[in-house]
Amino acid sequence: MLEVVSDVDLDEGISRRRQASLDLAIGRALTGAMDINPADAGHDSVWAFLTLVVLPDVAVARFSEINGERMLGGHRNVFRRLWIRDRTVGDLMQAAANPLGEDEMVGIFERSELARNRLLCRAMARTVLESTAPNRSEFARAFYKRVRFHTGAYSLDLHSEDDLLQLCKGIAAGLQGGR
């Protein structure tokens, strides 16, 4: 983790421009360094300890306003959200020329009906990353709403990632006028 933040002046905080790339790097470092299974990672105390005891300076540098949601172990914890994102779409983000922005990530991961299905999250991320819409963030917001509408009443647990990707691409094509 020290290598990841070595060029960041923790007393000055982190510029908005640097936050996205730093989030990717921190997520990758957490995934690589932590030998933790998802069941253990589900405990808020793991993330609270990491944030408040092990890496408080990094947490405060990333979110300079001390906020319980970011510092305690809940779903919006500074490190928990990055670990979950990296485990779910980290490979897609690392390979992308233009990775998903914070709003695009929040649209996927902070909606429980979408986030509870890892393969659906991956399919949505791939669809947004491959989008040619002029305003990708605006497209992503409309796309996520449409995915929620189309999948809300269904259990998607038995579908493959390819099945879900085809579903997402069909929804995206409808939004983009069949392009």
Reported as a single tens digit per residue, the pLDDT across 120-130 is 999 999 999 99
User: Is-contact 104 137, C-beta < 8 A?
Assistant: yes
Mark which of 67, 97, 127 sits at the end of a domain: 97
- CA 141/CA 136 separation, integer angstroms: 9
Asked whether the predicted pLDDT for residue 89 surpasses 90, the reply is yes
**Is the same domain home to 118 and 78?**
no
**Is the same domain home to 109 and 159?**
yes
**Is the same domain home to 113 and 69?**
no
**Is the same domain home to 79 and 115?**
no
**Is the same domain home to 17 and 46?**
yes
**Is the same domain home to 75 and 141?**
no
pTM: 0.85
Mark which of 97, 127, 151 sits at the end of a domain: 97
Asked whether the predicted pLDDT for residue 65 surpasses 80, the reply is no
Mark which of 66, 97, 128 sits at the end of a domain: 97
Asked whether the predicted pLDDT for residue 63 surpasses 80, the reply is no
Residue 33 structure tokens: 């360094």
Asked whether the predicted pLDDT for residue 106 surpasses 70, the reply is yes
- Total of domains in the chain: 2
**Is the same domain home to 4 and 71?**
yes
**Is the same domain home to 64 and 113?**
no
Residue 146 structure tokens: 């449409």
Name the burial class of residue 55, with classes exposed (0-12), middle (13-18) and buried (19+) by CB atoms within 10 angstroms of its CB: buried
- CA 82/CA 27 separation, integer angstroms: 5
**Is the same domain home to 91 and 113?**
no
Asked whether the predicted pLDDT for residue 142 surpasses 90, the reply is yes
**For residue 117, which of 91, 152, 143, 77 has the smallest C-alpha distance?**
152
**Is the same domain home to 33 and 49?**
yes
Q: Report which of residues 179 and 141 the model is more confident about.
A: 141
**Is the same domain home to 9 and 91?**
yes
Residue-wise pLDDT tens digits, 16-52: 667 878 888 889 999 988 888 889 999 999 999 999 9
Which residues, 6 or more positions from 72, have their beta carbon under 8 angstroms from its beta carbon?
A: 44, 47, 48, 51, 52
Q: How many CB atoms lie within 10 A of CB 141?
A: 14
**Is the same domain home to 177 and 114?**
yes
- CA 79/CA 48 separation, integer angstroms: 9
Residue range(s) defining the domain that contains residue 71: 1-97
Residue 40 structure tokens: 């253990």
Strand, coil or helix: what is 159?
coil
